[in-house]
Amino acid sequence: MLRCIARMIDPLLRLLWPPPSGRHRPPCTHTVPAHPPTPAEPPPAPTPEPYLRGEDSPLVRPYLLAHERRQAETRSQRRRRRALWLAVHGIDIGPRVIHGREVAA
């Protein structure tokens, strides 16, 4: 039914709006295809992309890494100062293993 209506309206449209003359006219779009093309086989399914983890990303902000390093250095310095302060007062909390040998406390 749609094709019949398109065939009846097509000559009227050509009378009202004749195709433009010249080189740059658009292609004729008033024709209706007889049968739409059917795909022979369905397109292949896209493969899912793997999820990215934050550790795998090379785009790590340098100020975050610097902050973590500073925190680790601050913690170790605080441990050393606490051990020294306690050693001054006669309390030994130093390392239990020195150069691979266990030291008695």
Q: What are the phi and psi torsion angles at 95 (to 5°)?
A: -65, 145
Q: pLDDT, tens digit, for every residue of 26-49?
A: 666 666 666 666 767 877 888 888
Note whether residue 73 is domain-resident.
Answer: yes
Note whether residue 87 is domain-resident.
Answer: yes
Q: pLDDT, tens digit, for every residue of 65-86?
A: 888 999 999 999 998 899 888 8
Structure-token pair, residue 60: 């790590």
Note whether residue 98 is domain-resident.
Answer: yes
**Statement: the pTM of the whole predicted model exceeds 0.95:** no
Note whether residue 54 is domain-resident.
Answer: no
Confidence band of 62 (pLDDT split at 50, 70, 90): confident
Number of domains, the chain: 1
Residue-number span of the structural domain to which 97 is assigned: 62-102
